[in-house]
Amino acid sequence: MLQEHPQMVFCAAVFAALTLGACASTNDSTPDIVDAGHSLPKDSGTQTQPDASMSSAPDSGTMDSGMQMGSCPERSAAFPFEDKFVTVTPQGLPEASIRYVESGSGPDTFVLIHGIPASAYLWRNVIPGLAQKGRVIALDLVGYGKSYRPETHPTFPQHANYLKAFLEALSIQNPVLFVHDLGGMAGLIYAANNPGTIKALAIMESAIPPVVPASSSASPSGCMAQQLDHPVCFWAFLKTEMGQKAIVDDNFFIEGAVASEPVCPVTEEAMAIYRADWPTPDSRRPLLGVPAEIAIDGQPEASYQEVVRFSNWLMTSQVEKLIIYATPGTLIPEPVARYAEANFPKTQIKSFGPGAHFLQEVNPQRVSELFNVWYDEKVK
């Protein structure tokens, strides 16, 4: 399929370059956090090796064996949950029907927020493990899955406002947020703008300091085509004409991202369900709003200010936090997790092991295990 679309081959190469570890470089270009007063020192003593008891990541000499399908757990493509819907109307935004599913019960509610281009479906095999500890709710963000699909993609702050309205509509107080990718933007903006409203926060493969605020100077190669060594290179590419064509015409977020998970590839049964959400170029056109919202070198300013605000919140908030990182990872490789551990109060990091970005598809049981251990130790 990719061979028929040259721009998709390049897009897949961009994603592969990041997921195969270039973005994990601990080079001199690690950016300071604007206005936060923190930076990652070179040769920092905080950059220690991960706790072997929490990591299943092989060393570089054995990584290939970790990528073989034979070592991958069974992952069901079924979605055995009842769809529920709630209608919300945040101030200044269109009315939206939001699909969600829930499972389990307990003193705490875990709200799972997916990223691009997924839906609550991404969490299907994580939910049962978490439901052993509490009430689990996974929603489709506006513009995704079975939720309201506007013609234009909501901005990151609008996603946060829809999340706020969703939590209020279901009378969910002090939830534990578990965020991934775009869900991190929504959840972190919500948390920063509504202090005191969440009990704890788990983050997996989302953009956090020092990866954001994003700066083109963070790439030591200047994002040359053969040296894609920082997520900012990927985001900048998606803003180009070629990147936008790949998103709309070639379904890059599905075929070049979800389908490119290198460690345990997403099953064909699950891929069919992901593809069904974005069947035509017109259905994918709203996704152009995602790269447009990502602030690089301070622009667009509104998005940049939101990132600065939640970055500062992460640096000061006393909320318990979990950072799950993978090897090689994409947005949160080990050095980024170590930075968070050193600079975010009340932050515990845990190694997922081999994986790139869609860790819920790689080993959902491992995701549940890491969350539950942290919850029992730090939150419960």
Query: Cα–Cα distances in Å, from 89 out to 86, 285, 287?
Result: 10, 24, 22
The answer to whether the beta carbons of residues 177 and 113 sit under 8 Å apart is yes
- 246 versus 37: the higher-pLDDT residue is 246
320, pLDDT greater than 70: yes
The pair of three-digit structure tokens given for residue 176, joined into one six-digit string:
């534990």
Question: Position 197: which residue type?
Answer: T
- 34 versus 300: the higher-pLDDT residue is 300
pLDDT at 43 (0 to 100)? 32
194's CB contacts (< 8 A; 6+ apart) are 164
pLDDT at 223 (0 to 100)? 82
| Helix (H) / strand (E) containing 163 | helix 156-169
Active-site residue (options: 102, 181, 250, 334) = 181
- The residues with which 165 forms a beta bridge, in sequence order, are none
Concerning whether 357 is annotated as a catalytic residue, the answer is yes
- 14 versus 161: the higher-pLDDT residue is 161
> Averaged over 66-93, what is the pLDDT?
86
- 353 versus 14: the higher-pLDDT residue is 353
pLDDT at 268 (0 to 100)? 97
Mind giving me the DSSP string for 285-297?
GGGGHHHHHS-BT
Lowest mean pLDDT among 122-131, 227-236, 264-273, 323-332: 227-236
CA–CA separation, 227 and 338 (whole Å): 24
125's CB contacts (< 8 A; 6+ apart) are 75, 76, 360, 364, 365
- 5 versus 80: the higher-pLDDT residue is 80
Q: What is the mean pLDDT of the chain?
A: 85
> Which domains, and CATH codes, for the chain?
2-27+81-379 (3.40.50.1820)
Residue 28 CB coordination number (10 Å): 7
- 21 versus 370: the higher-pLDDT residue is 370
pTM (two decimals): 0.86
Active-site residue (options: 102, 140, 205, 277) = 205
pLDDT at 16 (0 to 100)? 52
9, pLDDT greater than 50: no
288, pLDDT greater than 90: yes
Concerning whether 168 is annotated as a catalytic residue, the answer is no
- 281 versus 15: the higher-pLDDT residue is 281
107's CB contacts (< 8 A; 6+ apart) are 134
265, pLDDT greater than 80: yes
> Rounded to 5 degrees, what are φ and ψ at 178?
-125, 110
Concerning whether 64 is annotated as a catalytic residue, the answer is no
Q: How confident is the model at residue 71 (pLDDT cuts 50, 70, 90)?
A: confident
Q: Is the dihedral of CA 308, 311, 315, 317 positive or negative?
A: positive
311, pLDDT greater than 70: yes
- 356 versus 39: the higher-pLDDT residue is 356
Q: Is the dihedral of CA 352, 354, 359, 363 positive or negative?
A: negative
pLDDT at 224 (0 to 100)? 75
> Averaged over 278-302, what is the pLDDT?
97
pLDDT at 227 (0 to 100)? 62
52, pLDDT greater than 50: no
> Averaged over 180-186, what is the pLDDT?
98
The answer to whether the beta carbons of residues 87 and 96 sit under 8 Å apart is yes
49, pLDDT greater than 50: no
192, pLDDT greater than 80: yes
